[in-house]
Amino acid sequence: MSTAELTDVEGTGREVSSSVMGMVLFVAGEAMFFAAFFAAYFSIRAHAPAWPPKYLTPPEIAIPSVLTAILVASSVVIQFSVRAIRKGRVRRAQQLLALTALMGVCFLALQAYDYSRLTFGIKDGIYPSLFYVMTGLHMAHVAGGVALLFVVGAQSLNTQTGWARHQTLQSAAIYWDFVDVVWVLLFLVFYVVK
């Protein structure tokens, strides 16, 4: 990796690749995107006489609890993958990355199943609209994250080793952890806090 692709962070002597810095900036932008939706949600909720509206049956918490466990566990797994690649254990990092991607696919399938069980549609008012838009956008981000994990996994099969793959995996882990944090917030907002 050329020195042009590395940045000294605030004169600390720690170098950050352009791929990691790019992912941090991308995630910051996406965080603002979701922050706008959360702000709208809380603004509307503050002015609603009942939340969720009494004519709606709120979503059940059982499946979303499992979804939360899957995503939190997948974030732990991808961090172990990053740790493995830093120690030069390429095969172990690949296995953990594949497990993370599999957990992401399981999340998407179970979320789709949970959608099929809901008793309200997106056109049934502001609460369902916010629910479907926010959780649907999150699902799109998870799908994008799974695709990213597959790309990083495919790159890891290449014979190149070292700094470049380490940084690519670290960038994917940053994105995956962001997706996890967003889900935890959605879980709290839509399923836990009544």
Task: Provide the pLDDT for residue 156.
Answer: 83
pLDDT in tens, 41-83: 999 999 999 999 999 998 999 999 999 999 999 999 999 999 9
Q: What is the 3-state secondary structure (H, E, C) of 30-90?
A: HHHHHHHHHHHHHHHHHHCCCCCCCCCCCCCCHHHHHHHHHHHHHHHHHHHHHHHHHCCCH
pTM: 0.88
Domain extents in the chain: 3-192
Mean pLDDT of the chain: 90
**pLDDT of 139-171, one tens digit each?**
999 999 999 999 999 888 875 555 455 888 999
Q: What is the CATH number of domain 3-192?
A: 1.20.120.80
